[in-house]
Amino acid sequence: MKILLSNDDGCQAPGLRCLRDQLRSRHELVVVAPDRNRSGASNSLTIMNPVRVQRHDDGSLCVDGTPTDCVHLALTGLIDLKPDIVVSGINAGANLGDDTLYSGTVAAAMEGRHLGYAAIAVSTVSIQPQHYETAARVTLHLLERIQQQPIPGDTILNVNVPDLPWEELQGFAVTRAGNRHRAEAAMKTTDPRGRTIYWIGAAGAEADCGPGTDFHAVAAGKVSITPLLVDLTRHNMLEHLSQWATQL
Amino acid sequence: MKILLSNDDGCQAPGLRCLRDQLRSRHELVVVAPDRNRSGASNSLTIMNPVRVQRHDDGSLCVDGTPTDCVHLALTGLIDLKPDIVVSGINAGANLGDDTLYSGTVAAAMEGRHLGYAAIAVSTVSIQPQHYETAARVTLHLLERIQQQPIPGDTILNVNVPDLPWEELQGFAVTRAGNRHRAEAAMKTTDPRGRTIYWIGAAGAEADCGPGTDFHAVAAGKVSITPLLVDLTRHNMLEHLSQWATQL
Amino acid sequence: MKILLSNDDGCQAPGLRCLRDQLRSRHELVVVAPDRNRSGASNSLTIMNPVRVQRHDDGSLCVDGTPTDCVHLALTGLIDLKPDIVVSGINAGANLGDDTLYSGTVAAAMEGRHLGYAAIAVSTVSIQPQHYETAARVTLHLLERIQQQPIPGDTILNVNVPDLPWEELQGFAVTRAGNRHRAEAAMKTTDPRGRTIYWIGAAGAEADCGPGTDFHAVAAGKVSITPLLVDLTRHNMLEHLSQWATQL
Amino acid sequence: MKILLSNDDGCQAPGLRCLRDQLRSRHELVVVAPDRNRSGASNSLTIMNPVRVQRHDDGSLCVDGTPTDCVHLALTGLIDLKPDIVVSGINAGANLGDDTLYSGTVAAAMEGRHLGYAAIAVSTVSIQPQHYETAARVTLHLLERIQQQPIPGDTILNVNVPDLPWEELQGFAVTRAGNRHRAEAAMKTTDPRGRTIYWIGAAGAEADCGPGTDFHAVAAGKVSITPLLVDLTRHNMLEHLSQWATQL
């Protein structure tokens, strides 16, 4: 397949490099990724400044922008390849439940979808991953399956892979996104010059993580595959709200 | 009501200042907003660096972070006020259709909701707005209605107000988010030193903008109110995908 | 006099505001300053991105750039005023000895000089200043003296004012810049997510701080005035090095 | 020799890579450089945020900070190597005359000197250099000469190399820094969304560029070597200013 590969950990990140090396042997590949770590970038777009592109020795195109910028730029003029699919990852760290909203990895996939391409986001469920090859192999496997039986063109798959050797994986599960508890409180501290700073709190623990959720799958050693839809309208509230609004 | 007010155009932006001045007379208000323009920030969180807070003469707390950082920080320790609602805006420019995904204004409201608070995002549909007071009056009106008849606690309302004098508004419409065409291509140009730069393309024109959509409402001079839900799972695809995945 | 006022602590900083309020009554004033804290910016110029200017309610022009950008922009087209002098400050914190090289406050003055204007940088010698009015009064005093007896047009004065009530000042001293010991080591620590970060070390203690230096003056409660020259050539080494180079 | 190598164009820049490859064969080398292009950084220090370090496959340490941060961090704890000299470059573009004040390349060398090490900054005099190997060979040559006859430990050499094949170089010249005319005016334009932006003006043309200056040397096809001294005090004005100040 023809693949646009991006991520949010930056073009030097080991997760992207592992996936690139694995995909390269069987697929046609262009890498367009941020020039540095952009974790937490969500779907942010660089609109106040221009972005620049640097071609590295290995052919990667590194952009001083967000993951969304990278995919947007790649698909609206930067590269000649017309990809069959956009792949984002391998992210170092889970993108489960509410994480997807803040994730730059998922955002890169969403932007691919937004511009009309099928897209997969791949994360490995560990902050200091030991088994990127497992996640890379999972990705290859999914692409093969998609070649056999295409998924609808407007699909985004959010894939989370346990950080285990391939043999220890417990299979694949199609899941819905669970929910986390409220994030932990911001941490108030001081810098070395004695001035107050705040660190934004880490993601909360799992709240809705029962059977059927992505949290549940990875906890059981399974690869979690969640189909995503970017439709923020709360459709089932339209009628009630319309009544409410008559009194405005 | 007790209100946390934020935005993405920054704490000096005229839209926020107009809304603050209007809300202040009837409500208890704390302003926590970015220290500069953060348009396009989406739900991005600052996780690689700490953030700092500066108290301005007028009591506003200005944060060198994203809109999401501001609301997150405010609600997890920075301020004492326990708000009844989070209000974000008035944004200079529409947040219609797909814009909501990239919008920092909407993200601030989403973060309020994510942390358990009702939330409203307010935008005026013009890049160089002439009638912020109209949008501010609409906001006051909505808050009054909410006091009479509360909306469910987990509701986010995305409100877009035509940039017209109050008398010329054509009423209120509860809408679903429409869709835009693909964004315009990135603009390739050179900086004054002759090096290549790219500007990310502007949002595309309306694609799905028929009756019932937010685009349609504002084009008709109405205030558009879209209830939002942050659930990215594509539920109606779970079954099909499960079958597909059995062959993995 | 006609004055261009800038700083590196940002256009909301209390030091700049105090000085502005004091200068305004007797002088014609334009404020062009960074939109946020740019301490440590040195003479850095924003050349990879454009900068933007926002006019605040009080007439200040706030630039999303460095102190050098602000003065450069102001004097090459942004403002109509043709100033008699560029004033930078009041900085919260000393700019003594080697600090001048890293200081954005001094850099703003240097840029004024570089573009052909006399310039003064003013700092108060305390990180949490109590007596900005003292430094402001010192500045007014210096400007008055300059009006009586101009200093050469290519002069930069680096002024450091003890953080004391005006009556407690022990006079004025013309000084040379002293030297600090090596900066303290970078501080290695972890962020709340457990990843390694480094904080750049604080400036070292005074090394060359004997009579005649700026350190010595402020320690004695005096206002230190150091004339600066931006000529980085080590002239007295040219001959020796020329001999050395004959063997290249 | 033991060498700390840094630059301001970033750890992926071809100038740094060429120099690294050349130095490696004969010297012990550690690379600590910015993770992206930091041209124009001057001596700026990152003091409001921590910095992070990423080790690349080739052993380079890439820092999300300025050139000064890199050298500071390297020499105050990050690396074990105690270098004989700090080398910064090869910069893509001249650092002649007033440029030195804004240059991140020169700043990295200054920081080395500031922390007690001899230092060399190397630039090639072309924005799109064709002959990095020439500048690398010049650097090797200078290091060899330094080994034969050391230069005083507190010396910074600012070296500018014509972008020519080695055979076409016209020799070496020890020079003083010349001066440029005022920078060109800031360029006022609009971004694609119609909002006003300013690009900081390019450096001005040569003003003081007669015999003896760095400008003159490179124009004649010679390698320019300027010894630098960071002493900003205008010593010959101290007496006059002291008289002036008696009336304060």
User: pLDDT tens-digit profile of C185-240?
Assistant: 899 999 988 899 999 987 788 889 999 999 999 999 999 999 999 889 999 999 99
Probe site for chain C from B11, B18, B20, B36 (most C CB atoms < 10 A) = B36
Q: How many residues does chain C have?
A: 248
A12/D64 touch (CB, cutoff 8 Å), yes or no: no
Closest CA to B31 of B9, B6, B65, B12: B6
C76/D228 touch (CB, cutoff 8 Å), yes or no: no
Residues C223-238: tens digit of each pLDDT: 999 999 988 999 999 9
Two structure tokens written together for B79:
């301020």
CA distance D194 to D189: 9
Residues D82-127: tens digit of each pLDDT: 999 999 999 999 999 999 999 999 999 999 999 999 999 999 999 8
Reduce the DSSP state of residue B234 to 3 states and report it: coil
Two structure tokens written together for B191:
């900086």
Two structure tokens written together for A240:
């009630």
Two structure tokens written together for B215:
């685009």
Q: What amino acid is encoded at A104 in this protein?
A: G
User: Which subunits count as partners of chain D given 3+ CB pairs below 8 Å?
Assistant: A, B, C
Two structure tokens written together for B23:
């809300």
CA distance to C111, C112, C229, D98, D180, per residue, from D207 (Å): 17, 18, 18, 10, 5
Q: Where are the beta strands (DSSP E) in chain B?
A: 2-6, 28-34, 53-55, 61-63, 85-92, 118-124, 156-161, 172-174, 179-180, 187-190, 196-199, 206-208, 223-228
Backbone angles phi, psi at D235, to 5 degrees: -55, -40
DSSP state of C37: -
- Residues from A contacting C (CB-CB < 8 Å) are 48-50, 52, 64, 127, 187, 191-194, 199, 201-202
Closest CA to D4 of D99, D107, D120: D120
Two structure tokens written together for A232:
């923020």
C198 is a domain residue: no
Residues C64-122: tens digit of each pLDDT: 999 999 999 999 989 999 999 999 999 999 999 999 999 999 999 999 999 999 999 99
CA distance B198 to D194: 15
User: Does pLDDT of D153 surpass 80?
Assistant: no
pTM, two decimals, is 0.93
C197 is a domain residue: no
Burial profile D156-180: b = 16 or more Cβ within 10 angstroms, e = fewer: bbbbbbbbbeeeebeebbbbbbbbb
Q: Nearest 10 degrees: CA dihedral of B73, B75, B77, B78?
A: 60
ipTM score: 0.92
Provide the shortest C-alpha distance from residue A222 to chain C (in Å): 25
Q: How many residues does chain D have?
A: 248
Probe site for chain A from B8, B38, B39, B44 (most A CB atoms < 10 A) = B44
Q: Which residue of D has its CA nearest to A36?
A: D35
> For chain D, how are helix, strand and coil distributed in percent, rounded to 5?
30, 25, 45
A62/D12 touch (CB, cutoff 8 Å), yes or no: yes
State residue C24's pLDDT score: 94
Alpha-helix runs per DSSP H in chain A: 14-24, 67-73, 99-102, 104-114, 132-148, 214-219, 238-245
Provide the shortest C-alpha distance from residue B83 to chain C (in Å): 27
B195 is a domain residue: no
Distance of CA B99 to the CA centre of its chain: 9
D240 is a domain residue: yes
State residue A210's pLDDT score: 94
Of A47, A56, A193, Cβ closest to residue D12: A56
In the block, tokens 């003159």 appear at: D216
Residues A158-200: tens digit of each pLDDT: 999 999 999 999 999 999 999 988 878 899 999 988 899 999 9
Two structure tokens written together for B145:
């209605």
Give the angle subtended at the CA of D15 by the CAs of D14 and D16, to the nearest 5°: 95
Burial profile D213-245: b = 16 or more Cβ within 10 angstroms, e = fewer: bbbbbbeeebbbbbbbbbbbbbeebbeebeebb
Which residue has better confidence, B45 or A154? B45
Cβ neighbours of residue B42 closer than 8 Å, sequence gap 6 or more: A41, A42, A43, A44, A45, A68, A107, B101, B102, B103, B104, B107
Number of other CB atoms surrounding residue C10 within 10 Å? 21
B185 is a domain residue: no
B171 touches B223 (CB < 8 A): yes
Residues in the annotated binding site of A for a divalent metal cation:
8-9, 39, 91
B215 touches B133 (CB < 8 A): no
Provide the shortest C-alpha distance from residue D18 to chain B (in Å): 22
C46/D200 touch (CB, cutoff 8 Å), yes or no: yes
CA distance B237 to A35: 35
CA distance A44 to B111: 15
User: Does pLDDT of A98 surpass 80?
Assistant: yes
Q: Which domain holds residue B218?
A: 2-179+207-246
CA distance D178 to D216: 8
Sign (positive or negative) of CA dihedral C4, C9, C10, C15:
negative
CA distance C3 to C240: 44
Question: How many folded domains does chain D comprise?
Answer: 1
C136 touches C7 (CB < 8 A): no
CA distance C187 to C201: 6
Q: What amino acid is encoded at A117 in this protein?
A: Y
- Is B191 annotated to bind ligand? no
C68/D102 touch (CB, cutoff 8 Å), yes or no: yes
Give the residue-averaged pLDDT of C141-159.
91
Closest CA to C52 of C28, C68, C40, C34: C34
- Count of B-D CB contacts under 8 Å: 24
CA distance D68 to D82: 17
CA distance D244 to C174: 9
Q: What is the mean pLDDT of each run of 10 residues along chain B (248 residues)?
A: 97 96 95 94 93 92 96 95 96 95 96 93 95 98 94 89 98 95 88 91 86 96 95 92 90
> For residue A243, is it left (φ>0), alpha (ψ between -120 and 50) or beta?
alpha
Provide the shortest C-alpha distance from residue C28 to chain D (in Å): 22
* pLDDT band (50, 70, 90) for residue D204: confident
Residues in the annotated binding site of C for a divalent metal cation:
8-9, 39, 91
State residue B19's pLDDT score: 98
User: Does pLDDT of C181 surpass 90?
Assistant: no
Strands C61-63 and D85-92, how do they pair? unpaired
What CATH number is given to the structural domain containing A128? 3.40.1210.10
Q: How many residues does chain A have?
A: 248
User: Does pLDDT of A81 surpass 90?
Assistant: yes
Closest CA to A106 of A183, A182, A40: A40
Backbone angles phi, psi at D37, to 5 degrees: -60, 125
Which residues of B fall within a CB distance of 8 Å from C193? 47
Residues D25-69: tens digit of each pLDDT: 999 999 999 999 999 999 999 999 999 999 988 899 999 999 999
Probe site for chain B from C11, C20, C36 (most B CB atoms < 10 A) = C36
Q: What amino acid is encoded at D180 in this protein?
A: R
D173 touches D225 (CB < 8 A): yes
C189 is a domain residue: no
Probe site for chain C from B9, B11, B12, B20 (most C CB atoms < 10 A) = B12
D114 touches D231 (CB < 8 A): no
Q: Which residue of A has its CA nearest to D199?
A: A49
B191/D199 touch (CB, cutoff 8 Å), yes or no: yes
CA distance to A62, A169, B129, D228, per residue, from D31 (Å): 21, 40, 51, 23
Distance of CA A151 to the CA centre of its chain: 18
Provide the shortest C-alpha distance from residue A187 to chain C (in Å): 8
Of C48, C64, C193, Cβ closest to residue B36: C64
State residue D137's pLDDT score: 97
- Is D8 annotated to bind ligand? yes
Give the residue-averaged pLDDT of A32-59.
93
CA distance A204 to D222: 63
A150 is a domain residue: yes
Provide the shortest C-alpha distance from residue D192 to chain B (in Å): 7
* pLDDT band (50, 70, 90) for residue C183: confident
Of B64, B192, B202, Cβ closest to residue D187: B192
Q: How many residues does chain B have?
A: 248
State residue D193's pLDDT score: 85
Two structure tokens written together for B167:
């008398």
- Residues from C contacting B (CB-CB < 8 Å) are 12, 35-37, 47-48, 52, 54, 56, 62, 64, 191, 193
User: Residue B102, class by beta-carbon neighbours within 10 Å (0-12 exposed, 13-18 middle, 19+ buried)?
Assistant: buried
User: Which subunits count as partners of chain A given 3+ CB pairs below 8 Å?
Assistant: B, C, D
